[in-house]
């Protein structure tokens, strides 16, 4: 076979050189010389290698699972109970097939149409806000964010029981049902004031409902109640109530301010009265002290006046009178009764004293 191939190329070369159709002596390049005389064993080995490469490229009997994913292995259409972990796994082509499922945290935003525009991305899904009826049947829109992830431990069972659209069958219906049940217990006007309680009840209800299912198909992460959209009439009514409350609070503040002013003025008046009373008491105490001191002095003087001292004073006054009589015959002396005090004499030459005696 190799000899025939070489003869073929030689004939092509000779026919090309003798035809003269190369236009001016142009010589085409020589084809590479192939040695077809290699052994049969090497040819078979090369052929087998090529077949293996083609087989791997076409059949692809392996799969690579990355972090955040799990592989669901199906053999003849039947899912294996255990999911494949991240890494390289070999499979039997045609008989076995691996389905990749995402186990990273996923988010569903229940939002209004304005927020929905261009908000979706990897692991993020946006759905319309949940419309529910309050206790009186008024429509209320609830906007919230739910975070969850596929339970990697039971990923194969979840896909086997619920299919690859398990989120539509588990997460979304549960969230809407719990929100309706919780919000339906309240009146629309009381929703804003009970926001924290409602958020806690919604999160607890969703967690119990999802994680309480068989094999716990999903791990519930959290829920954030972002907005409670009330009807316009309810908003206006709440605003009126808030304005009325503000007016009442303002009136109460004015009353308290007036009371404080009255108490302040009363305290000032009481302070002034106390100051006046204290000042009067001080003056009275001073007079009392002065009177007591005078009385005490008088008592001391009275105690010091003995009979002999009085007699001596009388003798002294009598002596002064006698001396006055030598110069003024009109001098008079007044004798005190009982002799308890010294006698008193008056010089009658003084006109004022004369008029006083008369």
Per DSSP, the residues of 90-118 read: E--TTTEEEEEEE-S-EEEEEE-HHHHTT
Residue 121 has what pLDDT? 64
Query: Dmax of the chain from CA atoms?
Result: 205
Average the pLDDT over 317-329 and give the result.
Answer: 70
Residue 173 predicted with pLDDT over 60: yes
Average the pLDDT over 283-310 and give the result.
Answer: 78
What residues are paired with 108 via a beta bridge? Answer: 125, 146
Q: Averaging pLDDT over each range in 2-6, 157-161, 303-307, 330-334, which range is the top one?
A: 157-161
Whole-Å CA distances, 242 to 135, 236, 237:
21, 10, 9
Confidence of residue 175 (pLDDT cuts 50, 70, 90): very high
Angle of helix 166-183 relative to helix 155-162, nearest 10 degrees, comes to: 80
Q: What is the pLDDT of residues 105-128, one digit of tens each?
A: 999 999 986 555 455 667 788 999
Residue 30, classed as helix, strand or coil, is: coil
Confidence of residue 302 (pLDDT cuts 50, 70, 90): confident
Contacts of 348 (CB under 8 A, 6+ apart): 328, 330, 331, 332, 354, 357
Residue 34 has what pLDDT? 47
Confidence of residue 92 (pLDDT cuts 50, 70, 90): confident
**Mean pLDDT (the chain, rounded):** 77
Q: How far apart are CA 188 and CA 139, in angstroms?
A: 8
Angle of helix 195-211 relative to helix 166-183, nearest 10 degrees, comes to: 140
Residue 36 predicted with pLDDT over 80: no
Q: How far apart are CA 223 and CA 109, in angstroms?
A: 10
Q: Say if residues 154 and 217 touch (Cβ distance below 8 Å).
A: yes
For the CA atoms of 350, 351, 353, 355, what is the dihedral angle to 10 degrees? 160
Q: How far apart are CA 14 and CA 270, in angstroms?
A: 140
CA angle 261, 263, 266 (to 5 degrees): 110
Residue 228, classed as helix, strand or coil, is: strand
| Rounded percentage of the chain residues whose pLDDT exceeds 90 | 18
| Rounded percentage of the chain residues whose pLDDT exceeds 70 | 74
- What is the 3 state secondary structure string of 199-222? HHHHHHHHHHHHHCCCCCCEEEEE
- For the ranges 6-20, 65-79, 130-144, 164-178, the lowest mean pLDDT is seen at 6-20
- For the question of whether the overall pTM of this predicted structure is more than 0.75, the answer is no
- For the ranges 204-208, 212-216, 336-340, the lowest mean pLDDT is seen at 336-340
Confidence of residue 9 (pLDDT cuts 50, 70, 90): very low
Q: Say if residues 119 and 226 touch (Cβ distance below 8 Å).
A: no
Confidence of residue 338 (pLDDT cuts 50, 70, 90): low
């Amino acid at each position: 076979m190799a000899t025939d191939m070489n003869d073929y190329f030689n004939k092509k070369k000779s026919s090309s050189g003798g035809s003269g159709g190369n236009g001016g002596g142009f010589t085409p390049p020589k084809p590479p010389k192939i040695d077809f005389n290699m052994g049969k064993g090497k040819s078979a080995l090369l052929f087998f290698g090529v077949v293996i490469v083609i087989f791997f490229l076409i059949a692809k009997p392996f799969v690579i699972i990355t972090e955040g994913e799990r592989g669901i292995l199906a053999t003849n259409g039947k899912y294996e109970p255990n999911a494949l972990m991240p890494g390289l796994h070999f499979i039997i082509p045609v008989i076995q097939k691996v389905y990749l499922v995402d186990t990273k945290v996923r988010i569903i935003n229940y939002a209004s149409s304005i927020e929905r525009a261009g908000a979706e991305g990897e692991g993020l899904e946006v759905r319309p806000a949940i419309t529910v009826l309050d206790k009186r049947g008024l429509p209320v829109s609830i906007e919230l964010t739910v975070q969850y992830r596929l339970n990697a431990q039971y990923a194969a069972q979840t896909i086997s029981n619920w299919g690859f659209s398990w989120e539509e069958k588990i997460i979304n219906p549960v969230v809407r049902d719990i929100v309706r049940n919780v919000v339906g217990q309240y009146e629309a006007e009381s929703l804003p004031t009970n926001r924290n309680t409602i958020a806690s009840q919604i999160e607890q209800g969703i967690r119990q409902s999802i994680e309480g299912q068989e094999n716990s198909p999903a791990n519930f992460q959290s829920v954030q109640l972002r907005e409670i959209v009330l009807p316009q009439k309810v908003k206006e009514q709440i605003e009126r109530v808030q304005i009325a409350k503000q007016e009442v609070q303002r009136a109460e503040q004015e009353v308290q301010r007036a009371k404080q002013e009255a108490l302040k003025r009363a305290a000032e008046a009481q302070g002034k009265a106390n100051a006046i009373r204290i000042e009067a008491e001080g003056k009275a105490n001073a007079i009392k002290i002065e009177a007591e001191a005078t009385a005490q002095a008088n008592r001391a003087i009275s105690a010091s006046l003995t009979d002999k001292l009085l007699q001596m004073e009388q003798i002294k006054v009598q002596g002064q009178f006698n001396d006055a009589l030598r110069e003024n015959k009109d001098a008079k002396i007044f004798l005190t009764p009982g002799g308890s005090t010294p006698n008193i004499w008056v010089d009658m030459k003084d006109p004022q004293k004369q008029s006083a005696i008369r």
